[in-house]
Chains A and B, each alone.
Chain A
Amino acid sequence: MKRVSSRERTVTELAKPFRMSLAAVSKHLKILDRARLIHRTKRGSFYYVTLNPEALMTAEQWLARYQKFWEARLDSLSRMLEKEPK
């Protein structure tokens, strides 16, 4: 994530520091794309990857992201408090 936050990068650039095949990196990026954490665009034969800043999200994307985030956080909060002795 850190590597895409500063600027647009190609998949080859992103894969360089990792001991992973291009295919494996692409698979991970596909998951991040689906979670709308990054944005992928294809130009020519290359995919370019950028971090999806919240400002660029549509209302639906933003809602979907935080709905998931807060529901999971409140579940986690509830687990922590209900585990504690009363």
Chain B
Amino acid sequence: MNPTETRLRVKKLIKAKPDRVFEAWTRPELMSQWYAPDAMTVPNAICDLRVGGVYRIEMKGTLIGEEASGTVSGKYIKIVPGELLVFTWRWEGDPSPETVVTVELAEVSGGTEVTLTHDRFSSAKARKQHEYGWTGCLENLAFYWRKNGQH
């Protein structure tokens, strides 16, 4: 791993099909049911599921006994329904550079293995993210191209 990059990886087996797990990540009415931590709720979630499309999740309530609110938002970099979702991540009001979340779904016996990777880049690396985003766009375009070509 690049020393200027911090990578977090969390895995979890979920007893549901990959398509349902993917929906839970990408449909606002489902996202609002599990995204907020502690005793917080999601009063508003939007999700424009296309490469370059924006998602935005507002969270409100109490966190460790304190009145709290926060909004996280970002753009989709890669979308493969039922398999992969890559998006940027930033808390609104926090001047820190955006980070990138990758959600991989693999069908296993008993459900879906979710592998979540959260990458934090140094500022030099953050600038390269645009490049990364564009590569993602092109790969995705190629994916849909192939898919459409099959029809």
Tell me the A residues contacting B by CB distance below 8 Å.
1-2, 5, 28, 31-32, 35, 37, 51, 53-56, 59, 62-63, 66-67, 69-82, 84, 86
Contact = CB atoms under 8 A, between A and B. Distances in A.
Interface of B: 6, 8, 10, 12, 14-16, 20-21, 24, 30, 33-35, 37-38, 63-70, 91, 93-97, 99, 114, 116, 118, 120
13 contacts: A37-B63, A53-B96, A62-B8, A66-B118, A71-B12, A72-B37, A75-B12, A77-B24, A78-B12, A78-B15, A81-B20, A82-B14, A86-B16
Given A62-B120, A81-B20, A82-B15, A70 B37 contact: no
Contacts of B91: 54
B14 A53 contact: no
A62 B6 contact: yes
Given A53-B94, A62-B120, A73-B37, A81 B21 contact: yes
Given A62-B120, A80-B34, A74 B10 contact: yes
Given A55-B96, A81-B21, A31 B118 contact: no
Contacts of A86: 16
Contact of A67 (B10, B16, B68): B10
Contact of B34 (A51, A62, A73): A73
A20 to B, nearest CB: 11
A28 B65 CA distance: 8
A5 to B, nearest CB: 6
Given A32-B66, A74-B116, A67 B14 contact: no
A74 B33 contact: no
Contacts of B67: 1
B94 A80 contact: no
B12 A69 contact: no
A71 B69 CA distance: 20
A67 to B, nearest CB: 6
Given A70-B10, A79-B34, A80-B33, A5 B114 contact: no
Nearest to A69: B37
Contacts of A1: 63, 66-70
A28 B66 CA distance: 7
